[in-house]
């Protein structure tokens, strides 16, 4: 049931959209040009500074702009989660160059068809996200965001992770273009898709690599910046814990996490070329574990566990490789992540046991059928109701998540049998069609094909570990 606070917040979101669409806003003209704000196209994805990611204008686009606009780009904020359009189409408060405030929010509802192979005999209809917040800029140097989830999102409702209601709560200070300092509660700098804002995702759900092996949000402090004419971006920080994605009501997660990420556009040049937008990156994260349960393998929609959690102790290490490219209406992206938990001193004689390892990868692509240029979320050339049909996009992704086998003394000593500790993997293929009705509304249809190698440890043992799910999502955003 939706309580009174949630009803009020949802009403505010819809009212804000109506006001934004009609051009209504509380604004005071600035003496000079208004600096780009959180929510503009070059604002970062997923709450992280990511100027070299696929939703950013390429260096070639920037070189075609006037020097005045190029200077504005250098002042762009780096704390937005969702990328918007160049024109301000939602309520905002401007007080000269001193302060700008934007209202943000989104609502998502999912309808899932029955999947009898896993015992889901009836369709399901449920909320996924109900989020509201504010973001803004002060004196062109300080950006901030405060966002709160009004209910449980997908990961929480399926037991995949445990999160706080306050999602983003941070302040970013821009010292120079090459050096920023950010502090508060935000995402660790790890994972291309994990750092992508929810409204910019090409699929209804993030990949297993992002949801299971990437860290997520936690309190911390981070430095970041852009170097060599925006061709290189770096992020590095310390966080009190290692991200909410690894936590559940039974899993504490790691502590004292250090994370860093570097992204490079190696082919950026003065003359426009199709390969210019290619970006490659590497990220690493290290945290401390203290005799606690580790992560487990869950299927794409959280229907079953194909690898049980085990006790771990020592260090937790993550390493991620990423690549992304976009040209015209087409985009490609890929990641490979390795994950390892140590088991220091966990033997009967306090000897070290072999660690627990996992690897995940995906390759994804999109194609705009209506010809819009791909820079993050598609913006329809002609909205529905304004002489157009919106924007249509095809999307496809192939991925896998594999856990290595675990060695224990065995049943005589009270441990699980070797069968339950053997290697296992989930292979997933997702086909999707996205319809961008206008700036505010997106409809997503996904068909998800899953195959778990060890059928006995899958939610569909009678079907050989294979099953198909279909999800329809309606997303509204400011």
Q: What is the pLDDT of residues 336-353, one digit of tens each?
A: 999 999 999 988 888 888
Answer whether residue 443 shows pLDDT above 50.
yes
107: left (phi over 0), alpha (psi -120 to 50) or beta: beta
Measured CA to CA, the distance from residue 216 to residue 235 in angstroms comes to 15
Q: Which three-class secondary structure state does DSSP give residue 16?
A: helix
User: Residues 264, 256: contact at Cβ < 8 Å?
Assistant: no
Decide which of 80 and 139 is more confident: 139
- Over residues 265-283, mean pLDDT: 88
Q: Which domain holds residue 458?
A: 4-477
CA 431/CA 419 separation, integer angstroms: 33
State whether residue 88 is helix, strand or coil. Answer: coil
- 137 and 99 Cβ atoms separated by less than 8 Å: yes
What would the mean pLDDT of 355-369 be, rounded to a whole number?
Answer: 97
- pLDDT range class, residue 32, cuts 50, 70, 90: very low
Q: How confident is the model at residue 410 (pLDDT cuts 50, 70, 90)?
A: low
Tell me the C-alpha distance between 361 and 209, whole Å: 6
Q: How far apart are CA 184 and CA 174, in angstroms?
A: 15
Instruction: Give the rounded percent of residues in the chain with a pLDDT score beyond 70.
Output: 76
Mean pLDDT of 210-239: 96
Which residues have CB under 8 Å from 232's CB, separation 6+?
A: 52, 226, 262, 263, 264, 265
Q: What is the mean pLDDT of residues 155-176?
A: 82
Instruction: Determine the average pLDDT of the residues in 200-209.
Output: 97
Q: What's the pLDDT at 409?
A: 57
* CATH of residue 57: 2.40.160.10
Q: How many structural domains compose the chain?
A: 1
Q: How confident is the model at residue 22 (pLDDT cuts 50, 70, 90)?
A: very low
Residue with tokens 């426009």: 272
Distance, in Å, from the CA atom of 296 to the CA atom of 304, rounded to the nearest integer, reads: 10
> CA-to-CA distance for 181 and 43, rounded, in angstroms?
16
Tens of pLDDT, residue by residue over 366-378, are 999 999 999 888 9
Pairing of strands 441-452, 124-138: unpaired
β-bridge pairing 232-241 and 217-227: antiparallel
Q: Is the pLDDT of residue 79 over 50?
A: no
Query: Could you give the residue ranges of the DSSP H alpha helices within 292-434?
Result: 418-421
Residue written as token pair 């000593």: 413
What is the Cα–Cα distance from 145 to 138, expressed in whole angstroms? 12
Per-residue pLDDT band for 7 (boundaries 50, 70, 90) equals low
Torsion over CA of 292, 236, 184 and 98, rounded to 10 degrees?
A: -170
Beta-bridge partner residues of 475: 108, 442
Most confident of 58-62, 103-107, 359-363: 359-363
**Which ranges of 172-277 does DSSP label H, i.e. alpha helix?**
208
The DSSP H or E segment spanning 70 is helix 67-74
In our burial notation (b when 16+ CB lie closer than 10 A, e otherwise), range 192-214 reads bbbbbbbbbbbbbbbbbbbbbbb
Mean pLDDT (the chain) is: 82
Strands 179-187 and 311-327, how do they pair?
A: unpaired
The most confident of 35-39, 131-135, 403-407, by mean pLDDT: 131-135
pLDDT given for residue 65 in this prediction? 42
The rounded percent of the chain whose pLDDT value lies above 90 is 61
Is residue 24 over pLDDT 90?
no
Contacts of 311 (CB under 8 A, 6+ apart): 291, 292, 293, 294, 343, 346
pLDDT at 289 over 80: yes
Q: Within 13 A of 326's CA, how many CA atoms are on the CB side?
A: 22
d(CA 449, CA 373): 29
């Amino acid at each position: 049931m939706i309580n009174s606070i949630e009803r009020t917040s949802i009403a505010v979101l819809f009212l804000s959209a109506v006001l934004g669409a009609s051009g209504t806003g509380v604004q005071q003209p600035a003496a000079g040009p208004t600096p780009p704000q959180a929510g503009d196209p070059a604002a970062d994805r997923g709450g992280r500074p990511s100027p070299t990611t696929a939703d950013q204008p390429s260096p070639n686009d920037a070189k075609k702009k006037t020097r005045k606009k190029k200077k504005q780009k250098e002042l762009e904020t780096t704390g937005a989660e969702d990328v918007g359009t160049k024109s301000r189409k939602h309520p905002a408060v401007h007080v000269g160059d001193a302060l700008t405030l934007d209202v943000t929010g989104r609502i998502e509802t999912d309808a899932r068809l029955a999947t009898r192979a896993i015992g889901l005999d009836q369709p399901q209809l449920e909320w996924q996200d109900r989020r509201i917040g504010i973001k803004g800029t002060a004196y062109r140097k300080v950006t901030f965001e405060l966002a709160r989830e009004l209910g449980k999102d997908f990961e929480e409702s399926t037991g995949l992770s445990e999160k706080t209601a306050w999602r983003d709560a941070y302040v970013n200070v821009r010292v120079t273009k090459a050096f920023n300092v950010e502090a508060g509660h935000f995402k660790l700098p790890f994972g291309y898709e994990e750092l992508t804002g929810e409204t910019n995702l090409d699929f209804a759900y993030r990949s297993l690599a992002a949801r299971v092996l990437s860290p997520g949000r936690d309190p911390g402090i981070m430095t970041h910046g852009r170097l060599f004419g925006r061709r290189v971006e770096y992020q590095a920080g310390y966080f009190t814990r290692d991200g909410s994605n690894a936590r559940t009501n039974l899993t504490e997660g790691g502590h004292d996490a250090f994370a860093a990420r570097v992204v490079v556009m190696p082919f950026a040049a003065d003359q426009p070329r199709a390969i210019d937008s290619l970006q490659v990156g590497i990220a690493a994260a290290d945290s401390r574990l203290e005799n606690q349960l580790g992560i487990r393998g869950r299927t794409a929609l959280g229907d079953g566990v194909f690898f049980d959690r085990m006790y771990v102790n020592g260090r937790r290490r993550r390493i991620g490789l990423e690549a992304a490219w976009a040209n015209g209406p087409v985009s490609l992206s890929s990641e490979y992540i390795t994950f390892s938990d140590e088991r220091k001193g966990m033997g009967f004689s306090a000897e070290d046991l072999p660690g627990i390892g996992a690897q995940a990868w995906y390759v994804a692509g999109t194609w705009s059928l209506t010809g819009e240029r791909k820079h993050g979320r598609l913006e329809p050339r002609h909205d529905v109701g304004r002489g157009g049909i919106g924007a249509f996009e095809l999307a496809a992704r192939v991925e896998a998540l594999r856990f290595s086998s675990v060695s224990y003394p065995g049943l005589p000593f009270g441990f699980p049998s070797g069968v339950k500790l053997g290697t296992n993997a989930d292979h997933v293929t997702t086909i999707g069609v996205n319809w961008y009705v206008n700036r505010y509304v997106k409809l997503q249809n996904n068909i998800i094909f899953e195959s778990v190698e060890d059928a006995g440890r899958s939610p569909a043992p009678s079907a050989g570990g294979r099953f198909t799910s279909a999800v329809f999502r309606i997303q509204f955003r400011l």
